[in-house]
Structure formats: structure tokens, C-alpha cells
Amino acid sequence: MRARGRRQIAGRARSPLRAANRCGHTRPRRAEDCAPYRRLGVHLGDSGVNLRRRIRQVPARCNSPPTGQREERPWGRAGRRNPRRARTTKRHGDRELHPPAFVDYSLARDMTLTEKLLARAAGKAEVRAGENVWVKADVLMTHDVCGPGTIGVFQREFGAQAKVWDKDRVVIIPDHYIFTADSKSNRNVDILREFVRQQGITYFYDVIDDPNGMWRFDLAQGALKRQYGSQYAGVCHTALPQKGHTRPGEVLFGTDSHTCMAGAFNEFATGIGNTDAGFVMGTGRLLLKVPETMLFRLEGKLQPGVMAKDIILHIIGEIGFDGATYRALQFEGSGIATLSVDDRMTVANMAIEAGGKNGIFPFDARTAEYVEARTRLNGTRQSYEPVELDPDQKVVYELTVDLARLEPTVACHPDPGQRKLAKELGDVQLDRAYIGSCTGGKTSDFVEFARWLRGRRVSIDTFGVPATPEIVHELQTTRWGGERLWDLLVAAGVQMTENAGCAACLGGPVDTFGRMNAPLKCISATNRNFPGRMGHKDSQVFLASPATVAASALAGRIVDPREYLPS
Ligand code: SF4
């Protein structure tokens, strides 16, 4: 165990980018002239392309001491702090020197990523699994299903005239029961709109454009043609990062169990109930027990036909659907560099399917590139402070997954832990295939799905629901050989709706697009398959990757997608 003297230190941490933008370490003439950039390049193992792009984005001035004067830094070796000297900011010539960016000196070093995040949010140098701490929320997200209940708790406990703790940090995203004529579901969106108006909440992604209007879905127009306005954002977990609300180092609470998806961005993100959310809405704080951490080392590279969904289905099959109850799932290893941001979101999203409190990935150049692009695009807060992996961390479980040896995997009815290989399930005849949701309705999911379907035709009812309007747009503007991706999917027999949202992932009212209103068997790119999840209580859902869903839709039975490799 390391000495704990460092916990006394109250230094303020900065990410290299934060340093670059806010503390005087503005753009150096060469990356290697500036310590934060130097560390960024070395630490992130980036190709340099992203690094150079970021360097171009800040003003051409560097206040950092030149490389040759590194030894004079008051904080000693990079990554280590000299506690006798580092409490105060030192002067170097006529310039102020700051402690090196990136390393959070105020935190003890032998914690897991989740412990570090919660320690920081609790204003402590150190927390340990099992400890109860009050943590500050950075963002509270709610949607149309739980939002009205959360608002009710908030108003009951804090008073009808009470104001939310921070109108810029409450993000409201209607997405679940939207495209239905069910009047109570429609009314929920109206309740959210009224609350937003009362409170002056900044980030509300309304279904309609008229702030004084009422949402009514028009069944007569059919389910496929878009009916939302220009602000609508789609499925909350996919919309949060797209709209610039996920940042490394932050704490995100959401009234939805798959809020853990934002752990892909090196933040603590977890689902909470309406009562807790009402409390957070009023105070910006929540009492949390620090979860133990289970470590999953991802090594190697996925083979063709195997996707990120197979990684998490493999892991859940290994530990069971309750195998991580109230634990953090931390993903590490060289294989992470091969996973896109979308892939990481898929994996983190399903941490809850093993009972996990949260899922979390380390910060790297891909995270930085995505977050910076999205926060800049949407004008949301751009500063952030990632937390770093620590080799001395204490975990309660460790598993190494060789990505190169994974095979297309399926979670069979009736829970996400019923793992089988797709090639073992060839006798399971299907009635339906479904691609969509926060987990499986991203652009990259549809692209992979389309690769398998190109020039072929599905043999069973197949439904496609993009997670967000932005994804609809991308699918409708991306062309393969002159053909729009969207049209390719329609030509293959997929019923594609422009009404992006949760749709049948959660069943919903009976008129929900793709809902199973009969005891059917469905292979789905979604994330949960408990009985009744997608509609009829006697239906059966088999969870799989978009590639496996596509190949199975072609065959009419569950197959290994490698049998149908695209030409
Ligand atoms: S798409 Fe499904 S899992 Fe995701 S938020 Fe909606 S209902 Fe939940």
C-alpha cells in the first residue's frame, strides 16, 4: 500500500485539454515543447492525428516552460507530486507554473476508476468500496416515463414553487413512449414541457417545436414517416453524448437503468429511481454506497463477424445476469484501443444486465476527440477532468477476455445471462428480427447490419428503429455505390421507421412500432430479454449483435453470421 500523505494535498487537477484551454498552456509551436501535450501524446498512445487536430484548435501561444527546463518544475517527476513544494503555485520567470495536467493530485493513487470519480464528487481524497458518501451530480437526466414521477417527488418534497438545483444540469429527453396514440403517454411529454417552462430548464429535447403546443401522435400518418420537430433527440442514452452531455470525470445520474452507457466516456453514470432523482433535482447531491469493482481485461482484436455486443454477452454469460450486482464493471486492456466509441457504449450499456451499478472505460484519445467535437458542436460545457487507471487499484474480481477468440454470441430467453454461441442455435426458428435501441440502434450498428443485407432479402418480419434523428439522417445521406444506406435496407425488406426512439425495445403501448403483440420468437439487437420485455408475455427474445440479427433475418433461424459473410 502506498503512503496516504498525498491525500492532504489540495491541488486542483486539470486534463491536458483543460490546461490547454484554461490555464495558460495554450498552443505550443511544437507539441513536444509543452508538457501537457507531451504527456497527452505519450499517455494516450494516439496516432498523432487527433493530437495535432486538437493542438490546432487552441491559440498559438505556450506559457509552459521549455522542455530543457523541466527539472525546475516544483512538482518533481511527471506524475508524482512533491508534497512539500506543490501546495503553492510557483513562478517561472514572469510566468505562472501549474502542476502538470492530467494527474489528479488530490486523489489517492490506489483506487479504481469508479472510486476516484466518487471520491472527487464527494470532495474527498479517497473513498473505498462499501463506504457511503454524498456525491455531487454533474448532470441529472430524465425522460418521459420517469420524468413526471420525478417532478412529482421534487414538488412534493421541496414545494410547488421550488426551483431545480441547477437549470443547466437537468437534461430532459422524451424518448420512450412517444410514437403512440396512447393519450397518457402523450400527456407525459406535455407534463415535461410545462415543467421546463416553469423552471427555465436549458436542455429539453422536445418532440414538438411549439413550446405552447401539445404532443399528439397521428396514427393516420403511419408509423414510418417522421412526426417529430427539430429539437427532438431520440433515445436518451445515445442522445446524451451526441448532444454533448457526457464528459470524462463527471457524475451522471439518470432515471433509467441503462444510464450506465455513459461510462464509455470515463464517467460515473448510473440509473436511479424517481425518489432519488427528485432529491437530486432539488439538491444536486445523492448518498451513494461506493461499489466494489470487477475488472475485465479486453485483449486482442475482434474477428470479422464478431462485434462489441458479443463481448458483453460473453461477459454476462460468464458471470450471470446478477453476477455484478451493485458492482462497477471496469474495462481495461490493449483491446480497448481497437474499440470505437460506439463499441464502448454498447459494452457499458449492458453493465446493468449483469446487475452492475455502472460500467466504466479508461480515458483515451478517442474519448477526447468525441467529447470535444460534441461539446463544441452543441455549445455545452467543454472542460473536463478524466480519471486515470492506477496499477495499485483493488478489485474483487478479474477476467481476461481474448477478443480474437470470441465468437458470435446470443443471450437466449429468458434473461441476458443465458449465453450460447450463435452456431449452436441453428434449430431455433424465428418469427421476427429487430434492430434498434440505445445499445443496437447506432449508425455503426446499422452499417454492419446493412453489410450483411446488401443485395439480399430478409425472410422474416424485420424492423429497424434508429436510436436518434441524427442517425436517421446519417443513414439517409450515406451512400454505398450510389445507393442510400436507408434505401438498401428497405430494399432488403427491413421496415425502417424515421421515428427514432425506444419503440419496441421496452414493449410500450400496443400500437408501438415493432412491438410483439403475440407470442413470437424474435432475435434482437436490443439489451434486455426478460419475459414480456418487448411486448407479449409469452414471446421470446434472443439478444445478439447486429451482424447476427442480420444473418438470422436472412435465414429465418438463428445462425452464425460468419456463414453469411458479405461478399
Ligand atoms: S432503447 Fe430500450 S434500453 Fe434504451 S433507453 Fe430505450 S427502452 Fe431503455
pLDDT tens string 492-542: 999 999 999 999 999 999 999 999 999 999 999 999 999 999 999 999 999
Cβ neighbours, 10 Å, residue 256: 26
Let me know: does 287 contact 279? Beta carbons within 8 Å.
no
For residue 94, pLDDT over 60 is answered with no
Tell me, in angstroms, the distance from the centre of ligand 1 to residue 527's CA.
8
Let me know: does 505 contact 437? Beta carbons within 8 Å.
yes
Residue-wise DSSP of 470-530: HHHHHHHH-EETTEEHHHHHHHTTEEE-S--S-GGGG--STTSTT-B-SS-EEEESSS--S
- Mean pLDDT (whole number) for 257-282: 98
| Distance from C-alpha of 486 to C-alpha of 494, rounded to nearest angstrom | 9
| Distance from C-alpha of 450 to C-alpha of 486, rounded to nearest angstrom | 9
| Distance from C-alpha of 383 to C-alpha of 38, rounded to nearest angstrom | 19
Ligand 1 atom with minimal separation from the 143 CA: 5
505 lines ligand 1 (CB under 6 A): yes
Query: If you ran DSSP here, which 8-state letter would residue 368 be given?
Result: H
Which pLDDT does position 108 carry in this prediction?
84
Distances (CA, A) of 268 to 56, 115, 396, 503: 30, 9, 18, 27
Which pLDDT does position 34 carry in this prediction?
37
Q: What phi and psi, each to the nearest 5 degrees, are found at residue 255?
A: -85, 50
Q: Model's pTM, two decimal places? A: 0.83
For residue 61, pLDDT over 60 is answered with no
- Mean pLDDT (whole number) for 200-204: 98
Ligand 1 atom with minimal separation from the 175 CA: 6
Tell me, in angstroms, the distance from the centre of ligand 1 to residue 177's CA.
10
Residue nearest to atom 6 of ligand 1 (CA): 502
274 lines ligand 1 (CB under 6 A): no
3-class SS of residue 90:
coil
Q: How many CA atoms lie within 13 A of 252 on its CB side?
A: 32
What is the band of 37 on the pLDDT scale with cuts at 50, 70, 90?
A: very low
Which residue matches cell numbers 430494399?
Answer: 491
502 lines ligand 1 (CB under 6 A): yes
For residue 462, pLDDT over 90 is answered with yes
Closest CA to 440 of 344, 527, 360: 527
Let me know: does 484 contact 477? Beta carbons within 8 Å.
yes
pLDDT tens string 438-461: 999 999 999 999 999 999 999 999
What is the band of 296 on the pLDDT scale with cuts at 50, 70, 90?
A: very high
Tell me, in angstroms, the distance from the centre of ligand 1 to residue 171's CA.
17
Tell me, in angstroms, the distance from the centre of ligand 1 to residue 235's CA.
7
258 lines ligand 1 (CB under 6 A): yes
Q: Which class for 304: exposed (0-12), middle (13-18), buried (19 or more C-beta within 10 A)? A: exposed
Q: What residues have CB less than 8 Å from 240, skipping those under 6 apart?
A: 139, 141, 171, 173, 246, 252, 254, 262
Give the three cell numbers for residue 293.
469493482
| Distance from C-alpha of 448 to C-alpha of 433, rounded to nearest angstrom | 15
261 lines ligand 1 (CB under 6 A): no
Tell me, in angstroms, the distance from the centre of ligand 1 to residue 438's CA.
6
Which pLDDT does position 54 carry in this prediction?
36
* Burial profile 551-567: b = 16 or more Cβ within 10 angstroms, e = fewer: bbbbbebbbbbbebebe
Question: Domains of the chain, with CATH numbers?
Answer: 5-96 (no CATH), 113-134+289-405 (3.30.499.10), 136-260 (3.30.499.10), 411-564 (3.30.499.10)
Tell me, in angstroms, the distance from the centre of ligand 1 to residue 467's CA.
9
235 lines ligand 1 (CB under 6 A): yes
Ligand 1 atom with minimal separation from the 236 CA: 5
Sheet holding 327-332, edge to edge: 358-360, 327-332, 292-299, 397-402
3-class SS of residue 405:
helix
